[in-house]
Structure 1
Amino acid sequence: MGTTRSYGLTTGTRNQTVPDNQLPVVSPNNLLKATLHQDATEGWWYVTLHTIRKDTSMVVIPAIKLGLILDEQYFSNNLTLVRRSKDKAITVSYQASHGKRLQRKNQANEVTFHFVNSNKSPFDLVVRLYNDGLTFRYAFPDKKGSHLVKEELTSYLVNEGDACWLEPWNSANEGVYIYQKRSFTQRDWCYPGLFEASQADCWYLIHEADLNETYCGTKLSNQQSPNQYQLAFPNPRDGNGLGAAQPTITTPWASPWRVVMVGSLSTLVESTLVEDVSTPTSLTNTEWIKPGKASWNYWSNNHGTKDFKVVCAFADLAVEMQWPYTLLDWEWDAMGNGGNLDEALRYIHAKGIKPLIWYNSGGPHTGVSATPRDRLLTHESRLEEFAKLKRLGIYGVKVDFFESEKQDMIRYYLDILKDAASFELMVYFHGCLVPRGWSRTYPHLMTLESVKGAEWYNNIPDFTWQAPAHNCVMPFTRN
């Protein structure tokens, strides 16, 4: 990796004789540590992530390379460290509406490193060490208008002996995770990425959190170097080629959090770090958000919602199983064989079951013609559609086929969530991005599918033999 200048200690104990701007960031339990370094040859900055066992520091990730290219300015190998902030204790405590735990609490130590580039433009790196992982983000504090982000230079250098489980990139995030060790296939990969740290006797999961409309979704790519995973922007072809692949930001601005959960496999499964660093909800009333099981006819009958009698049978199934909901999937707008949507809803309500209903998110961004579609594309059309659903006594929507994580599509996701909240409608995204912590900001977001799930038993015969291994890996890769 070449000669480096170190801005951190090499042991797990703070040494007050070291200048304050050279102290590492350490987790509250003193078992994780991040040190900042500058490569003396090429000048770029990177973070090394360590675990600490019995006062011995072991490297988890040797180099997390930092930086962005903004308009024509580099913020990477031309940065000068101006100062390091004092350590700031972070405590987060909140109640979730659903998920692996309702009561959430986490603590971290936070440090901000203030840089300027060769043009004297300021650039901040905010680093947090939690007991269950590292998070960091970039920030531009100046108010200087609109800027195009040409590339994010963040990358994770993985030790060559580490094992990994990664899903080849696909826009629906409905693939199978592949196990690799030493010989890494070079391509684009989905989040989260699971790695076993060969030199630190632990596991880590790479992800991102608190993504919003000021940026695009990213993915992992090791196309340039087998064991270096850089964050990559969406492919220009995604979403039928609509929307810009590179995001435009307005300063002051802070990036999504880059997240590395670290620990045992049980730590990765139990961690809520992605939600913990995400923006708290602004909703004051969440009593209407009620998680629960639903009957669903699509799995056994792909065109079941077209058939009034099938819809009624699945309402009866929800009654029999004591499930609160039934989901009407695609083609409810073409329902026949004894009744239409209005008559089906009357039957469902008479049984004491709450209906949920499906929509195609398209729009020109998807070539999938499944209906109903073209009803949620604008704020005005959503207000009209959601008001109708409210009158019909529908409790939530399932929205499908997004096919892109470009900035315009991230904005579309969040606009749906905001408008749905106005009508107290719960939301389930399908054919979509993986969870990024939105369920904290928008607690009526019940789930994002983004997984090769049970519908694939019907879709292709190959999944039957893939499923046993796939289902065993998912608890650890899904977080």
Structure 2
Amino acid sequence: MIVNKQRYLRSSAWNQFRRIRLERKNVCWISLPALLSGFLVFSLSLGFQHSFAQKLTIQSPNKKLTVSLDAEGPEDQLTWFLRASFHGTGKSTEVIPEIALGLKRSDQDFSKGLRFLKKSNERLITEKYSAPHGKSSSRSNAANEVTIAFENAVKGKMNLIIRAYNDGITFRYQFPGKGGTYVVEDELTSYTVPKETRRWMQKWNPANEGIYTAMSDSTIQLREWCYPALFQTKDASCWYLLHEADLDRTYCGTKLSNKAEGNKYKLTFPDQGDGRGQGASKPVISLPWKSPWRVIIMGSLQDIVASTLVDDVSPPSLVKNTEWIKPGNVSWNYWSSNHGTKDYKIVTDFADLAAEMTWPYTLLDWEWDAMSNGGNVEDAAKYILSKGVKPLIWYNSGGDHTWVPSTPKDRMLTHENRVAEFTKLRKMGFAGVKIDFFESEKQDMIKYYLDILDDAAKFEMLVYFHGCLVPRGWARTYPHLMTYEGVRGAEWYNNGPELTYTAPEHNTILPFTRNVVGAMDYTPVTFTNSQFPHITSYGHELALSVLFESALQHMADRPEGYRQLPDFAKSFLKTVPAAWDETKLLGGFPGKDVIIARRKGDVWYIGGINGEIKEKKQTVALDFLQGGTKYSLGLIADGKHDKEFTTRSAEVDSSSSVDVRLLRRGGFVATLTPINNI
């Protein structure tokens, strides 16, 4: 591993190492944490130095990603850090020059003066698993893993586990001891990002419902930021996304902060005021313990969009039988009628819509407990089921952590409440629950989320979290967790005029950021207007059904919005899946445009949108299709104006390409069906 000379000039070991190096002209310039840990006397042979250097540099199985360990400072203040590199075609780029490491526990400090003890043998991790929903159904991954053992000044032990995957780098901390309960006072993990690096980040808010801001150089803002955060290196050779995964009851969610230093993003615990001040902001851990994975998805934009790394590093499913977990599209009345579920006739109209569109679900949102005008919730459930549709139902998360008084409240708050409510819902035929207003990522709230999922699984209830955190890999462990909000979606057309003008660009950023890490219920595909209008074209709105992945895709428009569509657009929405076998990015750039192809079975669906205020012509290459097979192309694109479509059909194969015209803020969809399947 190459070492930065300036760092070691500051080290107390430097002068001794320099003398040895001058005596041994043939010794490579390498990093020897052994120099800093007291066993220099038996580590001077050239062979040992080469061997040790190799052990401190970990490469991905495909050799494209490298993570290496380094240190700086005097021995009693020594700090350790990682650096991440990407090896593209003919060049190597140092992507993140420094990832600071360390934790401060209430009893001991594991951030400075750590002495290297040993390093495990590198081991290859390979895994294959299936997922009932998401961007791909059959998943495989490979990584090289090492564990490095450290000891602090009072002999406290901490391990660092590092993995280099083909699509990213992950690391986590481990306390191997047994017994004892401690507060984690701070986590020192931080990512140093060169100022020239472009970044797309969302200002921190507990509901994760902000707009992404593009920044670099002089436009960099100092504040706290949500996950995930997207970066592009100055030379444009590499993209990476910062996130975390396998967050469990033993820790809190974190966020990123560069308030102290503009180009250093430090992991930061929740604010004490989150969740109305309920719960502790600092996590309490018991040994043995492992932190969540710190995740850096890395590579091309296609690598970012297709990655399932957040799920890959999370625990396998705890649900043995997953046959009851059925993804699908949902009719939803809140967007068009905020108080729609109070009205039995509106509820039944949306049930009729779901049946007409062959969507499997309809959602009873807030105020279902005040339903009138012809029936109550029991009557509604019976009517919905009679149409061959399954009902879903909303709940306030309850408790003192939320200021929202909307009822029913508290019925999800305790194990006893949940068991009683899930028992009733099963008898009434409900398939799942939407639970809202969590407002915190403190440790107590993480426990609450997971307790809900544990109980819901016992009753075979699908779960949708709203007003919540962004995904942390839980959908792999709890596959009945179908989707999350955690996004500024179409609901914001009801909250003010802002989304009217920001949505076109915002929609082109989400496939590269928020939707990469897990299901995202944007509540898309609206053709009419709610309280504030949208300026995206009909083609743009139709494309969101493919671009945005959510195992429960809540189609947000009112029934007449879908009923007035031409038959070809309705037919598309009747058949578009909510879960996919494969995902490929075909083109795009955050804030400008995006084209994604997703496969279900043998049929490919393509969605593309333009986020800019100028018309574009896109040429879509179909080289991802299976060779030697002819496909029937069905294209629905923008017409002469925003509310008009054009259609085209053709016979194509993997050598073909399709030219598509997109209006300003426009879009298109396409289907590609093997000829022998028609």
Q: Does residue 344 in structure 1 map to residue 350 in structure 2? A: no
Aligned ranges for residues 140-155 of structure 1 at < 5 Å?
140-155=175-190
What residue number does 1:12 align with? none
Deviation at 1:53, TM superposition (A): 3.7
Which residue of 11, 20, 38 corresponds with 2:52? Answer: 20
Is 1:330 the counterpart of 2:334 in the alignment? no
How does the TM-score come out when normalised to structure 2?
0.68
1:73-112 map, 5 Å:
73-112=108-147
* Residue of structure 1 in register with 2:477 after alignment: 441
Q: CA deviation at 1:21?
A: 5.8
Q: Which residue type is aligned with residue 476 of structure 1?
A: F
Give the one of 158, 182, 192 matched to 1:123: 158
Contact 1:59 1:200 survives alignment (8 Å): no
- Correspondence 1:300 to 2:300: no
Q: In the alignment, is the contact (CA less than 8 A) between 1:168 and 1:187 conserved in 2?
A: yes
Residue number among 246, 267, 281 corresponding to 1:210 in the alignment = 246
Q: Tell me, what secondary structure is at the counterpart of 1:159?
A: coil
Query: How far has the Cα of 1:199 moved from its partner?
Result: 4.8
Of the three residues 217, 229, 254, the one matched with 1:193 is 229
The 1:17–1:122 alpha-carbon spacing in structure 2 relative to 1, beyond 3 Å, is closer
Aligned to 2:549: none
- 1:8–1:463 distance in 2 versus 1, CA, 3 Å: farther
Contact 2:143–2:165 at 8 Å: present in 1 too?
yes
CA distance in 2, matches of 1:120, 1:8: 21
Write the deviation string for residues 25-80 of structure 1: whole angstroms up to 9, x where unpaired. 10001111011000135521100001124675320000000000011311122111
Closer/same/farther in 2, CA of residues 54 and 319 from structure 1, 3 Å limit: closer
What is the rounded CA distance, in whole Å, between the counterparts of 2:173 and 2:435 in structure 1? Answer: 32
Contact 2:107 2:182 in 1 (8 A): no
1:399 maps to which residue? 435
Between the aligned residues of both structures, percent identity stands at 56
**2:630 maps to which residue?**
none
Amino acid of the residue matched to residue 154 of structure 2? Answer: N
Report the structure number with the largest CA radius of gyration.
2
Residue deviations 1:188-243, cap 9 Å, x none?
10000101112571100000000001000000000110000000000000001000
Question: Contact 1:115–1:123 at 8 Å: present in 2 too?
Answer: yes
Q: 2:40 aligned with 1:36, yes or no? A: no
Deviations 1:315-373 (CA, angstroms, capped at 9, x unpaired):
00001111000000000000011110011111111111100000010111000111211
Distance 1:267 1:159, change over 3 A: same
Partner Cα distance (1:8, 1:98) in 2: 46
Q: Which residue of 1 aligns with 2:557?
A: none
Q: Distance in 2 between matches of 1:463 and 1:420?
A: 34
Which secondary structure state, in structure 1, belongs to the residue aligned with residue 316 of structure 2? coil
TM-score by length of 1: 0.96
- Cα offset, 1:20, TM superposition: 3.0
1:114 to 149, 154, 158: 149
Helix, strand or coil at the partner of 1:434? coil
Q: Is the 8 A contact 1:21 1:84 kept in 2?
A: no
Q: Give 1:19 shift.
A: 2.6
**Aligned-partner Cα distance in 1 for 2:439–2:254:** 14
Cα 1:202–1:280 shift into 2, 3 Å = same
CA contact (8 A) 1:363 1:374 kept: yes
- 2: distance between equivalents of 1:113 and 1:58? 25
Q: Distance in 1 between matches of 2:78 and 2:480?
A: 45
CA contact (8 A) 2:228 2:241 kept: yes
Give the Cα–Cα distance (whole angstroms) in 1 for the partners of residues 479 and 368 of structure 2: 27
8 Å contact from structure 2 (residues 32, 52) kept in 1: no
What residue number does 2:7 align with?
3
Paired residues of 1:7 and 1:22 also in contact (CA < 8 A)? no
Q: Is contact 1:215–1:248 with CA below 8 Å preserved after alignment?
A: yes
The 5-angstrom pairing of residues 431-470 of structure 1 reads: 431-470=467-506
2:70 partner amino acid? H
User: Match of 2:195, as an amino acid?
Assistant: E
Partner of 2:389: 353
Q: Which amino acid aligns with 1:18?
A: H
Query: Secondary structure of the residue that 1:144 maps to in structure 2?
Result: coil
CA–CA distance in structure 1, aligned partners of residues 7 and 502 of structure 2: 45
The alpha-carbon distance between structure 1 residues 53 and 73, as it changes in their structure 2 partners (threshold 3 A), is same
Partner of 2:281: 245
Q: Deviations over 1:109-158 (max 9, x none)?
A: 00111100111111000000001000000000010311100000000000
Residue type at the aligned position of 2:242 = I
Contact 2:32/2:49 (8 A) holds in 1: no
Unaligned stretches of 5+ residues in structure 2: 12-29, 34-46, 517-678
Q: Distance in 2 between matches of 1:7 and 1:132?
A: 26
1:258-300 residue CA offsets vs partner (Å, 9 max, x unmatched): 0000011111110000000001112210100000001000011
Retained in 2: the 8 A contact 1:21–1:83?
A: no
1:269 to 2:301 alignment? no
Deviation at 1:160, TM superposition (A): 1.4
8 Å CA contact 1:196–1:202 kept in 2: the answer is yes
1:144-192 CA-partner distances (Å, limit 9, x unpaired) = 3111000000000001110100000000000000011113211110000
Amino acid at match of 1:328: L
- Give SS of 1:339's match: coil
2-side partners of 1:455 and 1:98: how far apart?
A: 24
Which of 410, 417, 420 is the aligned partner of 2:453?
417
State whether residues 194 and 263 of structure 2, in contact with CA within 8 Å, keep that contact through their aligned partners in structure 1.
Answer: yes
1:173 maps to which of 188, 204, 208: 208
1:471 and 2:507 are equivalent in the alignment: yes
Q: Secondary structure at the match of 1:312?
A: helix
| Structure with the larger RCO, 1 or 2 (CA within 8 Å, 6+ apart) | 1
User: In the alignment, which residue of structure 2 is the partner of 1:286?
Assistant: 322
The DSSP-based 3-state class of the residue aligned with 1:62 is: strand
Q: Are the equivalent residues in 1 in contact too, given 2:124–2:144 (CA < 8 A)?
A: yes
Residue 19 of structure 1 aligns to which amino acid in structure 2? S
Residue by residue, what CA displacement relative to the aligned partner does 1:383-441 show, whole Å, maximum 9, x if unpaired?
00111111111000000000000000000000000000000000000100000000000
2:327 partner letter: P
Aligned equivalents of 1:54 and 1:412: distance in 2? 46
Partner in structure 2 of residue 133 of structure 1? 168
Separation (CA, whole Å) in 2 of partners of 1:435 and 1:385: 25
Q: Label 1:387 to 1:152 Cα distance change in 2 as closer, same or farther (>3 A).
A: same
Amino acid in structure 2 at the alignment position of 1:320 = E
1:388 is paired with a residue whose SS is: helix
| 1:377 alignment partner AA | L
Secondary structure at 1:391 match in 2: helix
Name the CA distance, whole Å, in 2 between partners of 1:102 and 1:188: 35
